[in-house]
Amino acid sequence: MSDLRDLYQQVILDHKKNPRNFREIEDCNHMAHGNNPLCGDALVVYVKLNDGVIEDVSFQGSGCAISVASASLMTEILKGKTMEEAETLYENVHKALTGEDDSAELSGKLEVLSGVKEFPARVKCATLSWHTIHAAMDSDHDISVTTE
């Protein structure tokens, strides 16, 4: 119970209640819809890329505390990063949370997400926004991603 309390208190109380960059970017040039049909999480990620750099990134939608907090953290971290840097972070988050690579670690602000891997049923909540932005940057039109 204490692990869970820690996880929720660190991640949620701040980001869930006051999600950062929770808005639409009207002149975005990449966007994608992410859905987790199992729990009904649904979010849209907007990206404004300028010369390979993420000039602005935001999201909207609804979901559980872990998915909202993860999306909020993601937008904070990715703003100003290059596409390559973002891609590396995406892969790192994926590896660290799915346990695909034991050596993968999350640092800085993302460290709080590492607690999610103790709750396997919730990993997809935390990775939804990352899968969504990955798809958004890969495509020049609005696409949909599903995790479950």
What is the crossing angle of helices 65-78 and 123-138, to 10°? Answer: 40
Is residue 71 at the binding interface for another protein, with CB under 8 A as the rule?
no
- Cα atoms in the Cβ-side hemisphere of radius 13 Å centred on 106: 24
Give burial (CB, 10 Å; 0-12/13-18/19+) of 142: middle
Report the nearest approach of another protein to the CB of residue 62 (Å). Answer: 6
For 32, 44, 52, 106, the CA distances from 70, given in Å and listed in that order, are 16, 13, 23, 13
Candidates 38, 101, 105, 138: give the one binding another protein (CB under 8 A).
38
Report the nearest approach of another protein to the CB of residue 54 (Å). Answer: 28
Report the nearest approach of another protein to the CB of residue 69 (Å). Answer: 10
Q: Given the structure tokens 């932005």, which residue do they identify?
A: 133
Report the nearest approach of another protein to the CB of residue 22 (Å). Answer: 15
Quote the CA–CA distance of 145 and 128 in Å, as a whole number: 8
Candidates 20, 122, 131, 134: give the one binding another protein (CB under 8 A).
122
Candidates 52, 108, 121, 141: give the one binding another protein (CB under 8 A).
121
Candidates 5, 50, 51, 141: give the one binding another protein (CB under 8 A).
5
Query: What residues make contact with another protein under the rule CB under 8 A?
Result: 1, 4-5, 8-9, 12, 38-42, 62-66, 119, 121-122, 125
